[in-house]
Amino acid sequence: MIKAIEIEKLFKEAKIAVLGDVMLDRYFSGDAERISPEAPIPVVDVNNVWHIPGGAANVMSNLASLGAKVWGFGVTGSDAEGKLLKDILVQRNIDVVNITADIHRPTTVKCRVIVGHHQMLRYDFESREHLPNHIASKLIKGLEQIATEIDMLVISDYDKGVMSHEAISSILEIARNHKIEVLVDPKVNSTRSYVSVEYLKINISNAKKVTGMDFVTPSKATKQICQTLAKITRCNNLIMTMGKEGLLVFSEGKMTRIPTLAKDVYDVTGAGDVMTAVLSLALINGYDITTACEIATIAASLKVTKIGTYSISREELISEIKIRASSMS
């Protein structure tokens, strides 16, 4: 229960490696008071441009913001956007030695146009080609070198080419050899490759596709979807996110539903990354899976009140946990 959360446990020292598809989120915000004479579309007068780490880099950023020591693993292009992304991460005290540049791909950049609280448009620059062997090997070797230092490995797989089946196998072998717990947040294509990980977090839409149950309505078969996915992946702890329906946790054969927390929702961008970061931090520091998911849900409820990709702070999270606990007293 939220009212029983021991806050002091949450921010003990944690050492986490985050591996996956790093991105740069670019935002253009302004006013739209005209319709274009060229087409029936609004003209946005841009008055602000900013950049925030996205994807796996957003997980890194949130963990660092909450006080964890973070090693980043991923690939950018050999371009200005890649340099900018690494510079931002360095400013946030994230180790970027193993974020490698590939001259044959662009840095993944998601560009969003914002007017008020509304996202008007998004356009992306990216490659989904698998990494060349020498770059994949470099990431794997880098993980091997720091494996004795970390408490957990978080894999944030957005299906942008970093996590091939072969790379996943090598990475999970390193984790097994060093007894490192792994939390994975995968997309559809690679989910079946993450066999026997300790924690797997997936949204219900992707889970239905992976299990071949995409024709089933959530209200009728969420338990069956969880059980089938857990059997496919041989995962000990499965966390299935269901949007406004909250979370479903399947652990040791037991199913637990955790409701979403009511908030004014302005933007869900990056909420899953926030949840992944806080979930890993809570698990490392000894919370059981259900309590860890409750804390992660609180963190996600904070994020959705913010426009754009966002890193929550310790102070925000502590304050919100106390408010939630007080409301239940």
The widest CA-to-CA distance across the chain, in whole angstroms, is: 63
Tell me the sheet residues that pair with 147: none
The C-alpha atoms of residue 180 and residue 232 are separated, in whole angstroms, by 21
Ordered per-residue pLDDT tens for the chain, 329 residues: 555 677 777 878 899 999 999 999 999 999 999 999 999 999 999 999 999 999 999 999 999 999 999 999 999 999 999 999 999 999 999 999 999 999 999 999 999 999 988 889 999 999 999 999 999 999 999 999 999 999 999 999 999 999 999 999 999 999 999 999 999 999 988 999 999 999 999 998 899 899 988 776 656 578 888 889 999 999 989 999 988 888 899 998 899 999 877 566 666 777 889 999 999 999 999 999 999 999 999 988 887 777 778 788 888 888 888 877 776 65
DSSP, res 305: T
Is residue 132 within 8 A of residue 106, CB to CB? The reply is no
Closest CA to 190 of 180, 182, 202: 202
| Assigned superfamily of 11-30+41-327 | Ribokinase (3.40.1190.20)
φ, ψ for residue 11 (rounded to 5)?
-110, 30
Amino acid letter for position 40: P
Is 273 a residue of the active site?
yes
The C-alpha atoms of residue 216 and residue 4 are separated, in whole angstroms, by 36
Q: Which of 87, 185, 273, 288 is catalytic?
A: 273
DSSP, res 40: S
